Amino acid sequence: MIQSFIFDMDGTLFQTDRILELALDDTFEHLRSMGKWNSTTPIGKYREIMGVPLPIVWETLMPDHSKEERELTDAYFLKRLLENIRNGNGALYPDVKEVFTYLTENNCSIYIASNGLIDYLEAIVSYYHLDRWVTETFSIEQIDSMNKSHLVRSIVQKYGITNGAVVGDRLSDIHAARDNGLLAIGCNFDFAIEDELAQADVVIDDLIELKKIIRKES
CATH code of the domain covering residue 197: 3.40.50.1000
208 and 144 in a single domain? The answer is yes
pLDDT of residue 214: 84
pLDDT of residue 206: 97
pLDDT of residue 12: 97
123 and 178 in a single domain? The answer is yes
140 and 190 in a single domain? The answer is yes
10 and 114 in a single domain? The answer is yes
pLDDT of residue 47: 82
107 and 26 in a single domain? The answer is no
74 and 111 in a single domain? The answer is no
Other C-beta atoms lying within 10 Å of the C-beta of residue 47: 16
pLDDT of residue 156: 98
139 and 52 in a single domain? The answer is no
Please state the domain count of the chain: 2
At 167 the three-state DSSP class reads strand
The range of the structural domain enclosing residue 129 comes to: 4-15+91-217
189 and 134 in a single domain? The answer is yes
100 and 187 in a single domain? The answer is yes
76 and 95 in a single domain? The answer is no
pLDDT of residue 67: 94
40 and 101 in a single domain? The answer is no
Of 86, 113, 130, which residue is a domain's last?
Answer: 86
At 140 the three-state DSSP class reads helix
pLDDT in tens, the chain (218 residues): 799 999 999 999 999 989 988 999 999 999 999 999 999 999 889 888 877 788 889 999 999 999 999 999 999 999 999 999 999 999 999 999 999 999 999 999 999 999 999 999 999 999 999 999 999 999 999 999 989 999 999 999 999 999 999 999 999 999 999 999 999 999 999 889 999 999 999 999 999 999 998 887 75
The helix (H) or strand (E) run that includes residue 132 is none
95 and 201 in a single domain? The answer is yes
pLDDT of residue 191: 85
